[in-house]
Structure 1
């Protein structure tokens, strides 16, 4: 059995990107860049107006008097011709500045009388002109490889006239939920002795949140032959297989032996954490297999701690980005910790972290209430209200 930091280091070592693909920018939201985004155009592509108003020659304003309106510059079409002495052009935000003009006078300080305008108030310091390439130039690197394409990055890429991007491929995920007692949600009450299979739904949602593509979710009886068939199918179609349950030492805990029969190399088999000690990681060829405990809280805690960084690395992110701990004061005291690293389910309230009363590994209601995990090191002394502890979003 290894400690949490050792297990995490092994997960990070295994979490290598899977390869690249080219994707239309409109389909790239939430994905990770495999190559930088280089600007294909200048932005703006010409000197343009930053306001609605009138494009003028600044020297014509020095002596006062009216200017003659000779045309209009619209965004996308501009104005054909030049602005001569004591002339001006009506201009709108984003429209190209006409030849000869060097300033935009905002419409709010202009009085217009037919084809004549008169500037009625003192000019401010701003010229209200965005110079060509003042945002970026053709060939500029706007986004680095490894960048998450969030809403802000998508705007920058689109503004650079980039229609396709090179992305790291998303891992295909299959989840195998094991247990004779399990029934699909909605059907458990119809079969005495059964319980709803809840774990795989939460695990799948968490993995998809970090970038995996779920291609299958299967509920299996504790029957080695059927489990082996399902495992073979999952390995054939997936980059990552997660098996929930069957990871302990009971007479029907077959998870590891099933994959061992398919040639699995164990990376680690137990981790000294609470909850979630039976969690394990293996490899079959170039496929990864993560075994999670069957108890709901244990499964979700270990998935958050180990599956999230695993998927993050597979999609091209830094695996460590999935585990951003921060120091936060306690709302109430915690007792001394035991010899296993413990992750306490808790919630944030008023800038403090409140441990939740039910810390049972099989609890499900508490999962809806907990929004953070408190990290307690092995042998940690009692902590008082107001002491700081390390937490992570759950």
Structure 2
């Protein structure tokens, strides 16, 4: 069996970012820039007023009462055109261009206007209440580097810099295939006692869709080679094929055999971890194959550790092995065996004083325990007993 670290290296570290595509800037959230972008303009493109008030020459202000002749108006998108002489002022609004001959904006609260004149006791303070040209960024300045993870805040910056389209790494196409004669859809009208609701496919699809993968569910294959091969062949154009179930060694666990029949190159199929020991990793042509265990918690943990980082890597995002943050235990834990153990746990206590409360029952079929948990305590192979208050790595989800 491979260690978790070796399995991660084989699956994720060896993967390369996908090809690029050009998308409208508003459609790039969650993507990664494939090339740096430079501003096509300065922001702002000229000096702008930061307040409503009057644009004046600071040399006209002394702190004593002065009167200035009102000669025009500058509004956002409608600048004042003309010269401003000594003793004159221009009515100005927030976001409007500051006239070239002025260098200070006096806020309207500090003025009185009557009969075409404004009166103020403002002191001289050059550049006060003015947003200088290029204060945000300048023309031709690099505003976002290649490898930037695009979010609403960076998308706004890219758009402000004059980019309506961005070159980004392509989102991987992920085909998700469930296997097993016992599976039925969650919306079936009546359930038989021997049936199992397919909860894992929507769970894994949601996990990877939230990472911006382009996921599709390609069906539920029966436990026979013909059905499995037919469904596997339908994923030929996928970047990642994820199978769920049938990855162990039982008589009905035919997934590996079906994948081999479809020319899969097998990298490995067992990892020294729990839950999640039977994990298939391989490749069919350019499609990366991950065969997840059938138990829902096992499948979720494997997807969290390997499938989601793989999506990150293919999209050009950083994809380190999820390692967790140290937090204190609220209950003792026994020494661990030879496999790395991912223990479901809740966060308890007040903010700043959080502790980890491991679930009593760690059976890999218990989705209720998973749903009530806040993450996973990571117990390395052969680690000794952990006592209350000991710091242990915790992987939130």
Normalised-by-shorter TM-score class? over 0.9
Alpha-carbon deviation of 1:356?
Answer: 1.8
Q: Which residue of 2 aligns with 1:197?
A: 198
CA 1:189–1:367: 2 relative to 1, 3 Å: farther
Q: Please list every run of at least 4 consecutive aligned residues from structure 1 whose deviation after the TM superposition is greater than 2 angstroms.
A: 12-15, 120-126, 188-192, 322-325
Alpha-carbon deviation of 1:125?
Answer: 8.3
1:369 matched to 2:361? The reply is no
CA 1:188–1:200: 2 relative to 1, 3 Å: farther
The one-character-per-residue Cα deviations of 1:186-218 (angstroms, maximum 9, x if unpaired) are 227433411101111111111111121013341
Alignment RMSD (CA, Å):
1.6
Distance 1:339 1:354 in 2: 23
Task: Determine if contact 2:179/2:222 at 8 Å carries over to the other structure.
Answer: yes
Task: Determine if contact 1:11/1:309 at 8 Å carries over to the other structure.
Answer: no
1:346 matched to 2:345? The reply is yes
1:172 matched to 2:165? The reply is no
Alpha-carbon deviation of 1:64?
Answer: 4.0
Alpha-carbon deviation of 1:261?
Answer: 1.0
Distance 1:323 1:83 in 2: 63
Distance 2:40 2:347 in 1: 45
Structure 1 counterpart SS, 2:347? strand
- Aligned partner (choices 385, 389, 392) of residue 392 of structure 2: 389
Task: Determine if contact 1:188/1:195 at 8 Å carries over to the other structure.
Answer: no
Alpha-carbon deviation of 1:77?
Answer: 1.5
1:358 matched to 2:343? The reply is no
Deviates more, 1:60-69 or 1:73-82: 60-69
TM-score between both structures, scaled by the size of structure 2? 0.95
Distance 1:347 1:124 in 2: 57
Structure 2 counterpart SS, 1:66? strand
Deviates more, 1:132-141 or 1:289-298: 132-141
The one-character-per-residue Cα deviations of 1:114-168 (angstroms, maximum 9, x if unpaired) are 3211124556787111111121111111111111111110111111011000010
The one-character-per-residue Cα deviations of 1:253-279 (angstroms, maximum 9, x if unpaired) are 011111111111112211000100001
Q: How does 1:16-95 map to 2 (within 5 A)?
A: 16-62=16-62, 64-95=65-96
Structure 2 counterpart SS, 1:360? coil
Q: Which residue of 1 aligns with 2:306?
A: 306
Task: Determine if contact 2:47/2:98 at 8 Å carries over to the other structure.
Answer: yes
Distance 1:121 1:99 in 2: 20
Alpha-carbon deviation of 1:12?
Answer: 2.2
Structure 1 counterpart SS, 2:271? coil
Task: Determine if contact 1:279/1:291 at 8 Å carries over to the other structure.
Answer: yes
1:9 matched to 2:9? The reply is yes
Task: Determine if contact 1:111/1:120 at 8 Å carries over to the other structure.
Answer: no
Distance 1:118 1:386 in 2: 69
Q: Which residue of 1 aligns with 2:211?
A: 210
Alpha-carbon deviation of 1:281?
Answer: 0.9
Task: Determine if contact 1:35/1:146 at 8 Å carries over to the other structure.
Answer: yes
CA 1:352–1:158: 2 relative to 1, 3 Å: same
Alpha-carbon deviation of 1:324?
Answer: 5.4
Alpha-carbon deviation of 1:16?
Answer: 1.4
Q: Which residue of 2 aligns with 1:131?
A: 132
Alpha-carbon deviation of 1:83?
Answer: 1.4
Which residues of structure 1 form unaligned runs of 5+? Answer: none
Task: Determine if contact 1:329/1:352 at 8 Å carries over to the other structure.
Answer: yes
Distance 1:324 1:342 in 2: 13
Alpha-carbon deviation of 1:49?
Answer: 1.0
1:185 matched to 2:186? The reply is yes
Q: How does 1:236-247 map to 2 (within 5 A)?
A: 236-247=236-247
Q: Which residue of 2 aligns with 1:336?
A: 335
CA 1:97–1:147: 2 relative to 1, 3 Å: same
Q: Which residue of 1 aligns with 2:151?
A: 150
